Structure 1
Amino acid sequence: MTTERKLRRLAYKYTFYRVAPLWRGLSEAEKQAGKEEFAAVVEEAAAHMQVRSYSLVGMKADVDLLLWCTGHSLEAHQQLEALLNRTRLGPYLERPYSYLALTRRSPYTDDAPHPPQEGDSRFTVKPGEAPYLIVYPFTKTRAWYALSLEERQAMMNVHFEVGHKYPNVRINTSYSFGLDDQEFVVAFETDDPSSFLDLVMELRETKASVYTLRDTPIFTCIARPLRECLDAVG
């Protein structure tokens, strides 16, 4: 049995799955058995970690499904993936993208006149029930960190002010420094993709945008019950 070491912060894991085309050539009985086994593993994991499922069928060419998992240890995430590998769907699963991050309070929120629209604790996460989730890895340039905290704070204040124009867009920011290739993973929940599009266009015109090194790939995800996500892949 894997020893689980609980972290001081919550661990986010965004795992994007693609189901190999060979899967669709199996009989309906074989596919149903594989999907039921996969769903049972996820449902058991959901008893001790938060699991949100999203469909990307028709949204992204190389991704079918996202599981956004929030746990208290890295081992919990590893154990879930190991169990999914052993299901009958496992041999047909590919993971073209996977992002690991931890929760942490932003250094810019305490002095911001318009704090970001996200959770108020560095250790907890409260995902909403919005039908759409937009996720992407994010990295700042090294020049950003060479600026003084006061300069960065001023730019982030403008950033937050723009965000407050779009109250139906909620951001979940998590931190990957030293743990994964990106510095942050940002996940925006909304009931209106048009609002998110307008928000991003407006943020492009802020001074802070100059210091963005990477903010792709971008994933537009639709919240669905897990079994609906699995049925959508065929």
Structure 2
Amino acid sequence: MADRHFVKYTFLQLDPAWRRLPESERALHKQEFLAACEDFGTDHLLQGFSLVGTRADAELMLVMEAENLDRIHEFHVVLSQSGLMKWATQPYSFLGLRKASEYSDEERQIPRRFKGKYLFVYPFVKTREWYGLEAGERWRIMQEHIAVGREYPTVDNHTTYSFGLDDQEFVVAFDTNDAGAFLDLVQRLRTTEASAWTKRDTPSFTCINTSVERALIALDGQALHVPAL
């Protein structure tokens, strides 16, 4: 298990009343939140994303990777002590594990950052009937699916596995600089034979790749410094 990392997607939504707090108090809350993220990020992969303007039920997302669940747990305990989290809910949370694909030779076990301007994330569940197919038949069906994905080289796949760890079977994540290319890819994938075996692939999140600091600023449009009294 040492070579397989856990990947956690944490979505946050702020109480609208938080924005009516004094600017200095909001700035302090964001600074505490950022400090917790920077501490975790010194020796682990952590990225921030803004969903302001793309979702009505989540405004900020953190993606983190760690070699064990204990470290992810500890980070969330520290994060919960920030003033910002006292005004936040966590409407969605996805946990996955990096694992080699049984259908392709794509490298998915090594932790790597999302590099595109946009990140698209959704939970994915296949029908139980899918797992009743012979292994060779499942492999055959997936080859078309994989071939379609390779027609869109500007869209990078970061799928992780969740069997028994969370409600979904996979956390599917694509990053790209071209949102249109991602839309075209998903539309094309709907025509593949593999698509017929999909049970659930929603909700779908469109995220803006940014720093944690900029994602925090987007919550109220104010910088993180504490104004002088």
TM-score by length of 2: 0.93
1-side partners of 2:72 and 2:121: how far apart?
A: 19
Query: What amino acid does structure 1 have at the position aligned with 2:74?
Result: Q
Aligned to 2:35: 40
- Per the TM alignment, residue 224 of structure 1 is displaced from its structure 2 partner at its CA by 1.0
1-side partners of 2:88 and 2:67: how far apart?
A: 25
Aligned to 1:226: 212
Aligned to 1:91: 86
In the TM superposition, what whole-angstrom CA distance separates every residue of 1:77-135 from its partner, at most 9, and x where no partner exists?
1111111111111210110000011010011114xxxxx5xxx253x122242110000
Aligned to 1:125: 111
SS at match of 2:8: strand
- Per the TM alignment, residue 230 of structure 1 is displaced from its structure 2 partner at its CA by 0.7
SS at match of 2:158: strand
SS at match of 1:180: coil
- Per the TM alignment, residue 9 of structure 1 is displaced from its structure 2 partner at its CA by 1.5
- Per the TM alignment, residue 24 of structure 1 is displaced from its structure 2 partner at its CA by 0.4
1:24 to 12, 16, 19: 19
1:71 to 66, 74, 86: 66
Q: How many residues align?
A: 220
Aligned to 2:50: 55
Does the 8 A contact of 2:124 with 2:201 survive in 1? yes
Does the 8 A contact of 2:145 with 2:189 survive in 1? yes
1:197 to 161, 183, 201: 183
Does the 8 A contact of 2:121 with 2:206 survive in 1? yes
2:121 to 131, 135, 140: 135
SS at match of 1:229: helix
2-side partners of 1:230 and 1:216: how far apart?
A: 26
2-side partners of 1:226 and 1:22: how far apart?
A: 22
Closer, same or farther: CA 75–109 of 1 in aligned 2, 3 Å: same
Aligned to 1:106: 101
The percentage of aligned residue pairs carrying the same residue is 43
Aligned to 2:224: none
Q: Which runs of 5+ in 1 are unaligned?
A: 1-5, 111-115
Closer, same or farther: CA 225–138 of 1 in aligned 2, 3 Å: same
Question: Which runs of at least 4 in structure 1 moved beyond 6 Å after TM superposition?
Answer: none
SS at match of 1:233: helix
Aligned to 1:3: none
2-side partners of 1:7 and 1:25: how far apart?
A: 46
SS at match of 1:188: strand
2-side partners of 1:78 and 1:61: how far apart?
A: 27
1:146 to 124, 132, 151: 132
1:157 to 138, 143, 158: 143
Root-mean-square deviation over aligned CA pairs: 1.2
In the TM superposition, what whole-angstrom CA distance separates every residue of 1:145-199 from its partner, at most 9, and x where no partner exists?
1111111111111011101110000000101001100000010011101000000
1:160-199 equivalences in 2 (<5 Å): 160-199=146-185
- Per the TM alignment, residue 208 of structure 1 is displaced from its structure 2 partner at its CA by 0.4
